[in-house]
């Protein structure tokens, strides 16, 4: 009895099972897709025979690569400009379809938002600088006021000294007028008037000194407060 031997089934590659012309285009499409998967989006299937049964498929692969390449180039250029603070570069939507067009619109929307936020930050920084300048000018004014009050305080001290000396002279004059009797009565009246004016001047000078002390204290507190605010602004901008 003859024993039948079974041969294992032979597996043939797809290209071996296809007509040579078709196999050639399949191999070319595979090569281009492999290049694209490696990041080479410039690879294309060239010289496609319009009469080939796979012509539509091959052209679709090229169009897909065209759109992918355009999207990557446009979005990369837009984001590179945005990273440098230049937001006028938009992704061109010409030829973009489906998900590519949607993604391109999202990128354009994001760059517009970044542009708005950047402009807002620049405006805020400009306002901060203006505010810092206003504070500096205010400090100069307040410092000038403090210096003026110090000078006035010096003048008031001189006036007080003069008033005290005048009061002392008036007192001496009154004593001398009393010593000479009736002959010095007129002189005594003048001495009393001078003494009264001297006293009023002394009291007014004391009031001026009190007010100046209040102004100087308020001025000092104002300068300290402004300096604190200016320090905070400087820290925020750094």
> Does 12 score more than 60 pLDDT?
no
Name, in order, each residue with C-beta under 8 angstroms of 77's C-beta and a sequence gap of 6 or more: 89
Phi/psi of residue 200, nearest 5 degrees? -60, -40
pLDDT recorded at residue 184: 57
Which has more pLDDT, 138 or 89?
Answer: 138
Mapped onto helix, strand or coil, the DSSP state of residue 47 is coil
Over the stretch 88-106, which tens digit does the pLDDT of each residue have?
Answer: 667 666 666 666 677 777 7
| d(C-alpha 199, C-alpha 154), whole Å | 19
Residue 25 and residue 14 in contact, taking contact as beta carbons nearer than 8 Å: no
Closest by alpha carbon to 236, among 138, 140, 132?
Answer: 132
Read off the pTM: 0.45
| d(C-alpha 25, C-alpha 128), whole Å | 66
> Does 125 score more than 70 pLDDT?
yes
pLDDT recorded at residue 191: 66
pLDDT tier, 3 (very low <50, low <70, confident <90, very high otherwise): very low
Residue 11, Cβ density class (10 Å: 0-12 exposed, 13-18 middle, ≥19 buried): exposed
Name, in order, each residue with C-beta under 8 angstroms of 70's C-beta and a sequence gap of 6 or more: 92, 95, 96
> Does 33 score more than 80 pLDDT?
yes
- Please give the average per-residue pLDDT across 103-129, as a whole number: 77
pLDDT recorded at residue 2: 44
Residue 107 and residue 82 in contact, taking contact as beta carbons nearer than 8 Å: no
Measured at the alpha carbon of residue 49, what is the angle toward residues 48 and 55, in degrees to the nearest 5?
70
Which has more pLDDT, 95 or 164?
Answer: 164
Closest by alpha carbon to 107, among 99, 31, 228?
Answer: 99
Indicate the DSSP class of residue 6: P
| d(C-alpha 81, C-alpha 118), whole Å | 13
pLDDT recorded at residue 61: 92
Residue 178 and residue 188 in contact, taking contact as beta carbons nearer than 8 Å: yes
């Amino acid at each position: 009895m003859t024993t039948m031997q079974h041969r294992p089934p032979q597996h043939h590659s797809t290209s071996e099972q296809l007509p040579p012309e078709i196999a050639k285009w399949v191999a070319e499409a595979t090569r281009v897709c492999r290049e694209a998967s490696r990041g080479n989006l410039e690879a294309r299937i060239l010289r496609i025979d319009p009469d080939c049964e796979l012509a539509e498929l091959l052209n679709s692969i090229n169009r897909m690569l065209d759109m992918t390449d355009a999207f990557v180039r446009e979005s990369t250029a837009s984001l590179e400009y945005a990273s440098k603070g230049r937001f006028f570069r938009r992704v061109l939507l010409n030829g973009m379809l489906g998900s590519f067009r949607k993604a391109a619109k999202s990128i354009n929307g994001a760059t517009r938002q970044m542009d708005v936020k950047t402009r807002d930050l620049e405006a805020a920084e400009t306002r901060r600088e203006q505010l810092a300048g206003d504070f500096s000018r205010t400090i100069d004014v307040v410092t000038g006021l403090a210096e003026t009050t110090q000078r006035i305080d010096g003048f008031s001290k001189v006036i007080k000294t003069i008033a005290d000396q005048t009061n002392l002279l008036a007192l001496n004059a009154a004593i001398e007028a009393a010593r000479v009797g009736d002959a010095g009565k007129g002189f005594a009246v003048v001495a009393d008037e001078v003494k009264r004016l001297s006293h009023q001047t002394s009291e007014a000078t004391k009031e001026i000194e009190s007010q100046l002390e209040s102004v100087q204290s308020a001025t000092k507190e104002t300068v300290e407060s402004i300096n604190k605010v200016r320090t905070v602004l400087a820290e925020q901008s750094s």
